[in-house]
């Protein structure tokens, strides 16, 4: 999920570092949603515009998908549960699992995501059902085999 979400964010115009933060943030969010959001506190969600930030509420909208954001060193990063997701976190929690196969997996993810129209990528539900869910098992198996072969 993190890799495809990062590719989605990058395809929609976020910088690579911000896209990595988005991807990890969304993967953490989905995992928490599956567990029922045990612990932590919620925040209210206001209205936003596609791909714009709301300074008053520290919220960022990528289409109709929302995440809490922060700026550090001029770089847009995303937070969940008060923790910021950084490029280093993405490298440690996602990229490291791919080993030497990360570069080819990233290129494939980006190519795959870019094959969809912008409206699909801007829709959280559209992305999940049309992009992620459609090939998650196939890509996970392929990328796992590639990462094991690169060791």
Report d(CA 101, CA 74) in Å as an integer. Answer: 30
123 confidence band (pLDDT: 50, 70, 90): very high
Per-residue pLDDT tens for 33-76? 888 765 544 433 333 344 444 444 599 999 999 999 999 999 99
What pTM value is reported for the model? Answer: 0.83
Q: Which stretch of DSSP H or E encloses residue 109?
A: helix 102-114
- Residue 99 region by backbone torsions, left for phi larger than 0, else alpha for psi between -120 and 50, else beta: left
pLDDT at 106 over 80: yes
């Amino acid at each position: 999920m993190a890799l495809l979400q990062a590719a989605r964010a990058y395809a929609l115009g976020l910088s690579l570092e911000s896209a990595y933060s988005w991807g990890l943030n969304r993967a953490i969010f989905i995992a928490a949603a599956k567990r029922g959001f045990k612990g932590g506190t919620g925040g209210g969600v206001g209205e936003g515009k596609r791909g714009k930030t709301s300074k008053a509420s520290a919220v960022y909208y990528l289409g109709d998908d929302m995440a809490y954001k922060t700026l550090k060193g001029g770089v847009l990063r995303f937070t969940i549960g008060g923790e910021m997701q950084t490029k280093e976190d993405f490298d440690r929690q996602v990229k490291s699992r791919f080993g030497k196969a990360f570069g080819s997996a990233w290129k494939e993810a980006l190519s795959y995501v870019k094959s969809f129209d912008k409206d699909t990528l801007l829709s959280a539900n559209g992305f999940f059902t049309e992009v992620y869910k459609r090939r998650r098992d196939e890509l996970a198996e392929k990328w796992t085999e590639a990462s094991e072969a690169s060791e």
